[in-house]
Each structure stands twice: as C-alpha cells, then as structure tokens.
Structure 1
Amino acid sequence: MAAHFGRRLRKGAATTAVAAAAVAALSASQAPGVTVDGQGRQTTADATPSPEEAADGAGATGNSPYYTDLPPLNSPNPSPSAGTGPVAPGVTEAGIPATVLDAYKKAEAALRERKPGCNLPWQLLAAIGKVESGQARGGRVSADGTTLSPILGPQLDGNGFALIKDTDNGAHDGNSAYDQAVGPMQFIPSTWEWAGRDGNDDGREDPNNIYDAALAAGHYLCRFGWDLSDPDDLDKAILSYNRSTEYLNTVLSWLEYYRKGTHEIPDGTGTLPVDRSDHRPVRPSPSTSATPPAPKPGSRPADKPGGAGQSPKPSDPGSGSPTTPPPTTPTPTTPPPTTPPSTTEPTPTDTVDHLEDAGTAKLTAQAGDPFAQRISTRAETDAGKAVAKVRIRFTIFGDTDTTFAGGESVATVVTNASGVAVAPALQAGEKTGGFAVRAVVVGRDIPGVAYEATVTERAADTLVRTGDAALTCTAGGEFAEAVEVKATYGGAAADRVAATATLITSADDATENDKGPYFKDAAGNAIRTLNGLETDADGLLKLPKLYADDTAGTFLLRITTAGGATLTVELTVAAAATPAPSPSTSPTA
C-alpha cells in the first residue's frame, strides 16, 4: 500500500495516521495551486482563478472535458530502462508511449528552428497530451502515429459544454450539426482549420495523427510571441488551450512531473486516466435506489475525454458507506412522459447579422516592418447593435509572406463589449505587393469583411557620409579613403535598403561618366556604376575601393536608394607630378 499512496489513498485502505502523513507529504510537494483532499488525493478544484484571459474565447479544444488525474508524488529519477525487471509503482505512469514521445520531441525540434523565441519544451506537449487524451489512449496509434480509433469529445451543443455549431460539415468529427474536439490533442475543427500542421511529412494535416497534432499544438502555444520560459506567458498559452484554472494547474503538475524524469514505453502500454472534468456523482431521485444499476454485460466506462461520460463509481471496499437494501416489492415501471426539447436561448454568435469595418486605417508597411495599423472589425445585429463575445477569425490571403505577430496566417479574436475584435498586429515579410485579410464570424455562414494591405520595398529618406575626410588621389592612383554612407528612414536606421552608386558626368547630368574615377569588377575591369547594393542591419553602406585614370579634375559620385534618398560626393584627382630633368653632361673636348 505504501508504494501506491502517492497516487491515491483509497478509503479504508490506510489508518488515520498514515492518511494524515500522506496528506501532509502531498501538500508539501505539489506545484502551486495544487492541494490534497481528506483522502490524500491531489486536486486543483479550489485553486485561485487566474486573472489572465485566454487569447481565444473557446480555446483550441472548445473548452471540452479533460482528464483531471494528477501525477504520482514522485517521478522515477533516474528514469528506468526498458526490460530491467519489475516495474515499480509510478514508473508506468511516468512512461510515454514511444511513437507519442517521438512526436512531442520532433515538434519541439521544429519549433526550436521555426520559433526559437518561444522556448517550447516537449514536456509541455506531453502534459497537454496526458490531460487531453491520456497520451493517445496509452499510445494506441499506428506506426505513422494515427490513432487506431477516433478520439472524439462530446458534441458542443451547449448542454453542459460550449455551444459551437458545425464548422467543417462533419469532415473531421463526423458531426454536421455541432463541432466536437478531435484527436489526441483534442482540436475543434474550426481551430484545426488554421492551426493544423503536417508533422510526419505525408502531405496531410490530420488531427487524428499524433505527429500532426503535436506540431499543431506547438504552433498554437507559440503564437502571439509568447515565451514559454516566462511563467506568465506559459500560463497564458495553457489557458488559451482550455480556459479553466483547474486545467492550468493540472497541466502544470504533469509538466513538472515529466521534467523530473520520464522514459519511453511500448506503444499501447500507457496508463489510462480515470477521472474527467465533466464527471459528477449521480444523485438518486427519491423514487429510486441509491445503489447504481449493474452495468450491462460488455459495457465499460468511457475511456477518453469526449465520451458519453463515466458510470458512477461504486463505493470503495471497507469505506463503511451504508447501502440501501433492495425494495421488497418491485416498483412498477412507468414510461417517462415525452417532454418537448427545451428551447435554447440564442448565443451571441446566433444574433450576428453582419460585420462592419470598425475604422481600420490604410494598411501599409515596408518589407520587414510591423504594420502600424491594426484591423478592427465590429459584429452587429440586423438592428446595428453591437454583439460581444463572438469569435472573429482573421485570415491572410494572397501571394505574401506577411503574417500576424507570432508567425501565423490566421488569428481568432473574441469581440469586446463594444462588439469589436482587433486583430493581432501584422508583420510584413519580404515579398512586396498587395494582399488581403478577411474577417468572418466563426460558426456562422454570413458575408465577411475584406481588408486590403500593401507591403512596399524597404526605403530610405536620408543619406549621409559617415566621415568628412576629403576624397582625393593622384591621376593613375587609387583613393586612400573608401566611401561609407548611412541610410535612415524617419530618423531610424534603414536596413537592407537597395542602393545604386554611379560616377556621373555632372550635377545636372546623371549619365555615367566615361573618364575619371572608377571601380573595378571581379575581373579587374573599370566600371563606373554599381547596382544591387544594399545597406546592412545598421543602415550602413561601404563602397569598394575607387581608382583614378590619367584624367585630373573634380568628379562626382552619386548614391541613390529606394525611397528617393540621394547623396552626391565630390572626388578630386590631382595631376601626376612632372619628373625633374636629369643634369646634362658637358661634351668631351
């Protein structure tokens, strides 16, 4: 028994002294916000709610049910190796099925390269995978990572859960009336539509595949520029997955547990969770026995979040709980009266008639820069009244590498009390030209609002020399000083701006000069125009060495950049010195 009390103390299975000691030990060892109940079981139900709001009102899962089982008191450390003998209590719990573990680690590696500032640990994906599906039902996946049977949450019809009407015509969840969370990481179809990724390079984005789902979860947790090594950002990211403080604390407990030590176990041998967030004890009605009916042959409780629910648990052996004796006479069975379905109050989403632009300014930015303007959309009823708490999805369309902050091309934002949803800031890529952003109501088939945006080339409005030394040389020689300039735009350094340098004929004639100073190409030939120049990260541009032919005089070098910045530099070539005549010799008499 002592080996198991870190996981759970059953009623009557320990003395009062042992139970008290276990409670004290658990209380002292768990993460903040996690407590233990009178039976020594860990719980997060009484944790103080976090003030942070999730970025997306429904989260990745639509706030579907999740497993509330918490980890054992101690993680095996060091982690055991496979096949080393009997498995100690807690070791199986710490193990992660091989294919599932591989998917988490590959997702971490991909995010380390794609979004290094996010600092995503694979243990966070493992913690969420444990809470959402018990690591794909203990690793019941095929060789390519696809679950052997679908893992579906309950239909989100507003009956004890969120109300999210069908958004995928049943393509992922088989339900054309309401959405359901799908797969080992429990994405709702409307979120998977933009968050889905191909993690196993098979050309498909399948929420039922652990490689695809883990990579999608990683990108989801890394949006908005969150740094998951920052505890505040970590909390925000987890709450955006499921808006529940209990969910946050449960995930954090598993995260800490996996960080202390875990190991690989064979697929299909993982421990299945038991408790779910939507499980509530069934209270008997006055006319029925308190003892739950015996299960039908072959039936079993739901083994995943999103099943129909779990059967009530029988009293633990030795608990001393009274049992109600069966009635001495059979109770007549009367068919329940047929009750018409209750009328569900319309959700805010149901009342939206149209979307309006909420005063978005002209959207333009230079390549590589953030857009100063942000898109604002207002949800309204047919009477023009604002509708709050509606999810608006913003999607970038067109041939562009511009993204929202965080690197995503889709963002979902909930309207505020004024009915307005403000999209995350746009970050311009390197492709110039126009593109569009479309705003639609999630869960409604009504016209959206399109916003046009433009990315212009990088530009400078000012050019200045970084030095003031005179640029001179002797005919046939070379200039000792190289020409260096700095480009700025609006007073800030203009980085990676295209530039051209030309030795021009005169101040009024910008055609290329055919004499005087020149540059050399790779073959050593004289050239007087340099194209394809670009300023560095600090806006600096240093030109190659200049040479002079035999022509003396004053010459001009003109540098121009994208955006119209121009600088003309004066170059002076002095005539070569005339050699003195050698002394004459007197003729011999």
Structure 2
Amino acid sequence: MAAQFGRRLRKGVTTTAVAAAAVAALAASQAPGATTDGQGGQTTSDAMPSPEEAADAGATGNSPYYTDLPPLNSPNPAPSASTGTDTSGVTEAGIPATVLDAYKRAEATLREKKPGCNLPWQLLAAIGKVESGQARGGRVDADGTTLSPILGPQLDGNGFALIKDTDDGAYDGNSSYDQAVGPMQFIPSTWEWAGRDGNGDGREDPNNIYDAALAAGHYLCRFGWDLSDQRDLDRAILSYNQSTEYLNTVMSWLEYYRRGTHEIPDGTGTLPRDRSDSTGTVRPSPTAPSTPPSASPSPKPSPKPEKPADSGTPNTPPPTTTPPTTPPPTTPPTPTDTVDHLENAGTAQFTAMAGDAFTERMSARAETDAGKAVAKVRIRFTVISDTDTTFTGGESVATVLTDSSGVAVAPALRAGEKTGSVIVQATVVGRTVKGVTYRATVTERAADTLVRTGTKELTCTPGGEFADAVELKATYEGAVADKVAATATIVKSAEDPTENDKGPYFKDADGKAVRTLSGLTTDADGLLKLPQLYADDTEGTFLLRVTTAGGATVTIELTVAAAPAETEPPAETETPDPSGSPSASPTA
C-alpha cells in the first residue's frame, strides 16, 4: 500500500497546474504552421505542410499509452533481495537484450548521421516503455520482430482521434481506420515517411524493434532539435504524443534509465498495467500462450481425506480422489536458450596500420554444450578498449546473426589514429555465457618508398640560402602514404648518420640554426615539403637525409660553394703607323 501511495503521490506532483501550463505553451509554440496574430494568440497557416511537418496527431496519432511510473528507489546501485530491500527498481531497470541493443544501435547511427541532435538511447527506452512496455517485455524473435502484432485501438473518433485509413490496411490490417503499430506505436501515415531500415534486411517494418527504434530517433531529431536542450527535448516528446501527462511520464522513465539499467533475456521484461484510456487495470498480452477460452479451468486439488474409522458399516463412501491437473503450457526453447558458449571461428592475428581497414574479420561460432552449432543467434561484437578504432560505419558495437553453421562474422574493423592494442569482445545477446575476446594491433602509418620530386641540383653560396625547396613523395606498397611521420637531418657522411655541426641548416621558431627536424608529416597526397634551407660560411658538399616511419629513406646532396670570379674584357690598344707618324684613330 505504501508503494502504491508513493506512486500516486509522484503522479500527482508531476501533473501540477504550473507544469501543465508550461508544457501546453511549449506544445502550442512548436506546432507546425503556428504563427502569432495581432493579439498575441496562435493561428495556423493555410499553407500545405510537408510530410514531416504534418504531425499534428504526433507519431502515434495520440493513441493511448501506459501510464505506469518507475519505482521510487534508484536502480543504481542495485538493491539486494537478500537484504530485504525493495528490488522493484532492479526489475524495472532491466531491458530485454534485443530491445536494448536496438536502442543503442539507433543512438550510434544518429550520432553519426545527426550529431547535433544528441539523442540518448535512454529516451528511446523511455518511449518504448510507455508505448509498448519494451515490446511486451521483449517478445521478439532473433531479428527483432515482435512475435505477435502490437496494435493500438482503431482511431475512429470514439474516444480517440479520428484518422481514417491511409494504408489500405497494409500495416495495421484495418482498411477503415488507422491504428498505431509496433513497439514504438507509429500510425501508418507517419511511418510512410518516417520508417527506417534499422537491421539492414532491406525492409522498413514498424513491427521490428530495430526499424522502429531508428525511425523514432530520426523522428525526434527532425527540425534541427538538440535534445540536450530541455526545451527542444520537451518539444520532441510532445511531437510524439501531444499530452502533458505523456511528457511527464516519458521524462520520469528517461531519468530513471539514466540512473542505471541492465540487460535481461528477451521475453522476461516486466509488463505495464495502467493505460491512459482506462481508469482500471489493463493487462497486456502474456508472454506465454494461455489456456484457450473454451477450456474449463482445472479444479483446485482437494486435500487428501483422512482414512475414516472402521465402523463395520458397508455403506461407507469410497475416499475422494484428486482429479488430474492440466499441465501448464510450455514455451519451446529459442535457439539462444540452447547456446552454451562461443568459440573463435577465425584467425587470431589482427593487425592494421592507423587509418586503414583490417583485412581479417572477427568471427564467432555459437555452440551447445555438446559442441553443436546454433543458428539464428544474435552475437554482439563490442570494442571495449580505450581506442578510436571502430567497425565500418564508425560504430563501436555490431550485432550479427549466426548463419546455418552457427558463425557470425563481424563487420570489418577500421583502425583509428591511436596506436597500440585494441580489445573486442563477442557475447550472446540475451544470454550470459562464455564469450570470445579478440586482440588487435594498430601500428603507426608507414612508408616504404621516399623519392625527391625534382631533379635540379641544390646549391648555395656561403652565408646564403638555397633557392630551391626540397620536396619528396612517400608511398607504401605503391599507394600514397599520407600522414606519415618523418625526420630530416644534415648528417656527417653516408656512413655516419650523426648530425653535422657545420654546413646547411634550417631555422627554428626563434630563428636559430637547427640541423635536425622531427615531427614532420606527409600531407594527404603523400608529399613532404621541407622548410627553407640556409648555409653557413663552410664550403663543401653536404648530405641531407630524410627518413619516414616504416624505414623509407632518401639522401640528398647539398653544395655550398663560392660564386666563380668574373673576368674583365681586354683593353683596346693602338696599332703603330708603318710610316712612323701617329695614327689619328685606332686600327681595327
């Protein structure tokens, strides 16, 4: 009773008149096509809105939703049942494995596609809880599709919005009126433009939690909303279902999940009870088939009667026998239930250069305790080390379904710029069994060839500067080697790589002479252009050696010599006159 009273008290607090007024103002201000008239009131534009703007009824058509609120106790740290504390927080904090995976995958995708939205997966979890109780406690198959349709009531205007059929019953099976469909409860007209393919099967299915979660993420991120801003967050939630109570309920679950949650097996999630369209209790579909309506319930077994005393009377009635009970229905085990452990199904060596894709892909094999392969099991590969290495697409988590041989092959890893060891773990979604740990190595970018791009001799006079710059190109296995570290040094000789203290030099930031430059890097085209070279007063031939990571080396001659002396033309002389008299003009 105390828990129920606390729950009702919280419900009342979150629906105060002040909160209602504030949310109503937000809802009005963000409504599509809303403008302000001369009196400061709201009017609606006559212009035809775009499909994304035509969301007056929200993603769900303002369909009913579950109003259950989270427990008062925090899920983190988790209370212990052995200590006698209330463990409802632990139970409610659990999210079915496949459903949780879908939320996190949608967040990762939106982080790449719409980074400015800042969508937290906990928001998708909060909406999923309110809309369908996390797909009815995680009753989904290995692909993430609900085991049975999740449909809201038909929107016929009888207590709900009036939305006549828009899809000819393709999604909801109703050719008269629309109904909200799937674990995120999209109405068909909204799904038509908001639907996404979240699991890569080539279809956009509102009954699939991966598709629905990604569609919900895109829906909440439209209009350039930044969900880290409370005003935009309120607008986004209200656009899903324009109800003050809905906003408060979703926000309660969002904060609850932010405090901590954990993964539980599919089909074992707690089911909500209270719905916004009923004052009584609404019980959602059970997780296991129930007794058919036509079957009579099994009578409760009678207690075994005591043996009566022998009175010698032949009319003593026989003892009452206990009727047999009907065995409870059983659910056949799923493929995931039969997995005992994972085995490494590929190579143990994974190495790639920074920025490159790994040529080998990680793979795991799901097996029973007898070593038999298990197909159609979801395997999650997670990069858990502190690295910027990710799977193709920029995600650190990838979930793959095992094939007929029980093998799941992860997407290719792409090395980041951080070098060193990378750890990847493979686990079974929905089961706590022995997994597989992979180790990969990221090496620094390297070049195996380094050549000078020009052929002109590099010369300079003592105390001068070289007119031509030194430019080189680095390659690795014939391809451009970009972002490769290099070092340039004026060495003493071809056999002695130590730095020369005489001859050509570079200048540092303070203008001082330096004969070794480190920290050089090739550009996107593999080119390396060295700074200006200068010469001191020492004449001679000197060597410039440039070396890259990976061992590529080139040695270039630099000549410092004085300019040749200029020669003067011979002076003009007079030719003597044979007659002995001086000539008036020189003879040619």
Task: Look up the equivalent residue of 1:493 and give its one-letter code.
Answer: V
- Distance, in Å, in 1 between the alignment partners of 2:202 and 2:283 is 19
- Distance, in Å, in 2 between the alignment partners of 1:128 and 1:239 is 29
- Distance, in Å, in 2 between the alignment partners of 1:493 and 1:467 is 18
The 1:242–1:369 alpha-carbon spacing in structure 2 relative to 1, beyond 3 Å, is: same
- Distance, in Å, in 2 between the alignment partners of 1:362 and 1:245 is 41
Specify which of 15, 34, 49 is matched with residue 80 of structure 1. Answer: 34
Alignment of structure 1 residues 333-482 onto 2, 5 Å: 339-482=326-469
User: What number of residue pairs does the alignment pair up?
Assistant: 380
CA contact (8 A) 1:503 1:558 kept: yes
Deviations 1:129-157 (A, max 9, x none): 825xx68979x9xxxxxx98469xxxxxx
Match of 2:167 in 1: none
1:188 aligns with 2:117: no
The 1:259–1:391 alpha-carbon spacing in structure 2 relative to 1, beyond 3 Å, is: closer
- Distance, in Å, in 1 between the alignment partners of 2:494 and 2:452 is 18
Task: Look up the equivalent residue of 1:386 and give its one-letter code.
Answer: A
Deviations 1:388-430 (A, max 9, x none): 1001011112221111122221111110111110111111111
Match of 2:16 in 1: none
- What are structure 1's unaligned runs of at least 5 residues? 1-75, 96-120, 141-146, 152-168, 182-186, 214-230, 274-297, 311-332, 584-589
Match of 1:130 in 2: 59
Return the offset for 1:171: 6.3
Alignment of structure 1 residues 233-382 onto 2, 5 Å: 235-237=196-198, 244=205, 267=238, 269-270=242-243, 308=284, 339-382=326-369
The secondary structure found in structure 2 opposite 1:350 is: helix
Task: Look up the equivalent residue of 1:308 and give its one-letter code.
Answer: P
The 1:336–1:383 alpha-carbon spacing in structure 2 relative to 1, beyond 3 Å, is: closer
Task: Look up the equivalent residue of 1:557 and give its one-letter code.
Answer: L
- Distance, in Å, in 2 between the alignment partners of 1:237 and 1:423 is 17
The secondary structure found in structure 2 opposite 1:559 is: strand
- Distance, in Å, in 1 between the alignment partners of 2:197 and 2:365 is 25
Structure 1-normalised TM-score? 0.53
Say which one has the larger Rg: 2
- Distance, in Å, in 1 between the alignment partners of 2:122 and 2:107 is 6
The 1:342–1:397 alpha-carbon spacing in structure 2 relative to 1, beyond 3 Å, is: same
Structure 2-normalised TM-score? 0.53
- Distance, in Å, in 2 between the alignment partners of 1:349 and 1:255 is 30
What is the percent sequence identity of the aligned residues?
54
Task: Look up the equivalent residue of 1:416 and give its one-letter code.
Answer: D
CA contact (8 A) 1:123 1:255 kept: no
Return the offset for 1:503: 0.5
Task: Look up the equivalent residue of 2:473 and give its one-letter code.
Answer: K
The 1:543–1:266 alpha-carbon spacing in structure 2 relative to 1, beyond 3 Å, is: closer
CA contact (8 A) 1:128 1:251 kept: no
The 1:271–1:236 alpha-carbon spacing in structure 2 relative to 1, beyond 3 Å, is: same
1:554 aligns with 2:530: no
CA contact (8 A) 2:472 2:529 kept: yes
The secondary structure found in structure 2 opposite 1:501 is: strand
- Distance, in Å, in 1 between the alignment partners of 2:468 and 2:278 is 80
Task: Look up the equivalent residue of 2:375 and give its one-letter code.
Answer: A
Return the offset for 1:202: 13
Task: Look up the equivalent residue of 1:189 and give its one-letter code.
Answer: L
Match of 1:495 in 2: 482
Specify which of 506, 522, 525 is matched with residue 519 of structure 1. Answer: 506
Match of 1:163 in 2: none
The 1:389–1:466 alpha-carbon spacing in structure 2 relative to 1, beyond 3 Å, is: same
Return the offset for 1:433: 0.6
Q: Which has the higher contact order (CA 8 A, sep 6+)?
A: 1
Deviations 1:249-274 (A, max 9, x none): 99999999x999x996995745999x
Task: Look up the equivalent residue of 2:284 and give its one-letter code.
Answer: A
